C-alpha cells in the first residue's frame, strides 16, 4: 500500500509544520478569540432566530477570510504555489457567507430533535476539542499546529457542523468550496500523516450527503403540505 503513486508535494513535512508555527506565533492570541467566537456560535444556536443566524454566518465568513488571507496567502504560499488559488477560494467562500447573511429571511440555526443536529454537534465538538487534542497528542502545541478558526481544516469541519444545524436548505453555493477542500485536505493529510485531518473527509462527505438527503426529503414532503 505504501508503494501507491502519490502527487509529490512541493514542500517537506518539516516545512509544512514550520508554516503553522510561524503563522501561529504571529497571530497569537487570535486563536483564543477564534475559540470564543466558535463557542458563541454554539450559544447562538441554542437561542435560535434570524439575528443569531446572521451572526453565525458572519463568524464563519471571518474564519474563512482568516484562513484564506492569513494562512494561505500570508504564509503557506511561501512554500506552496497552489496556496494562492486556495486562498482566493477561501476568500470567495467568505464573501458568499457574507452575502448569505444579508437577507432578513436568511439562514437561521437552532437546536431541535433531528439526527442531523446531533451530527452537527459532533462535528462541532471535533473541531473545537478533539482536533486540538489530537494535535497535542502528536506533540504539537496550540500555536504550532492547525488551530481552530484560523486554519483551513478545522474551519471547514466547523462550517459543516453549523450547516447541519441550519433550519432550512443551505445553498449549494455555500457547500461547494468546503466540500472541495475536504477532499483536497484529506489527500494532503494522508501524505503528511496528520490524523486529525482525517475527520475533515468525514465531515465533508457525510455532511454533504446529509445536507443533500435533507433537501430531497423536504422536496418530497412539500406537496403533502398543500
Q: What is the pLDDT of residues 167-204, one digit of tens each?
A: 889 999 999 999 999 998 888 788 888 888 999 999 99
Copy the grid coordinates of residue 222.
412539500
This prediction has a pTM of 0.90
Check pLDDT > 80 for residue 215. Answer: no
List the domain boundaries for the chain: 13-221
CA separation for the pair 147, 30 (Å, rounded): 10
Encode pLDDT of 98-141 as tens digits: 999 998 888 899 888 899 999 999 999 999 999 999 988 888 77
Any idea how long the chain is?
A: 226
Please enumerate in sequence order all residues whose Cβ is within 8 A of that of 103, keeping only pairs 6 or more positions apart, or say none.
Answer: none
Check pLDDT > 80 for residue 12. Answer: yes
Encode pLDDT of 52-92 as tens digits: 899 999 999 999 999 999 999 999 999 999 999 999 999 99
Cis peptide before 83 (omega within 30 of 0): no
Q: How far are the Cα atoms of 51, 68, 184 from residue 181, in angstroms, in the given order?
A: 28, 12, 5
Amino acid at each position: 500500500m505504501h508503494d501507491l503513486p502519490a502527487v509529490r508535494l512541493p514542500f517537506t513535512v518539516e516545512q509544512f509544520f514550520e508554516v503553522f508555527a510561524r503563522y501561529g506565533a504571529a497571530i497569537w492570541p487570535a486563536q483564543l478569540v477564534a475559540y470564543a467566537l466558535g463557542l458563541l456560535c454554539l450559544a447562538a444556536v441554542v437561542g435560535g432566530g434570524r439575528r443569531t443566524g446572521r451572526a453565525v454566518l458572519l463568524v464563519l465568513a471571518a474564519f474563512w477570510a482568516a484562513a484564506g488571507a492569513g494562512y494561505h496567502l500570508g504564509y503557506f504560499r511561501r512554500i506552496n504555489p497552489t496556496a494562492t488559488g486556495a486562498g482566493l477560494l477561501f476568500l470567495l467562500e467568505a464573501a458568499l457567507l457574507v452575502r448569505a447573511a444579508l437577507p432578513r429571511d436568511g439562514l437561521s440555526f437552532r437546536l431541535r430533535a433531528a439526527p442531523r443536529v446531533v451530527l452537527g454537534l459532533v462535528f462541532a465538538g471535533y473541531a473545537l476539542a478533539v482536533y486540538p487534542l489530537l494535535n497535542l497528542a502528536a506533540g504539537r502545541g496550540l500555536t504550532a499546529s492547525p488551530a481552530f478558526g484560523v486554519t483551513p481544516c478545522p474551519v471547514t469541519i466547523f462550517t459543516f457542523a453549523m450547516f447541519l444545524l441550519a433550519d432550512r436548505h443551505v445553498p449549494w453555493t455555500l457547500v461547494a468550496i468546503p466540500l472541495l477542500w475536504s477532499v483536497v485536505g484529506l489527500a494532503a493529510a494522508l501524505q503528511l500523516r496528520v490524523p486529525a485531518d482525517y475527520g475533515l473527509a468525514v465531515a465533508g462527505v457525510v455532511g454533504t450527503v446529509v445536507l443533500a438527503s435533507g433537501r430531497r426529503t423536504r422536496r418530497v414532503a412539500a406537496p403533502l403540505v398543500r
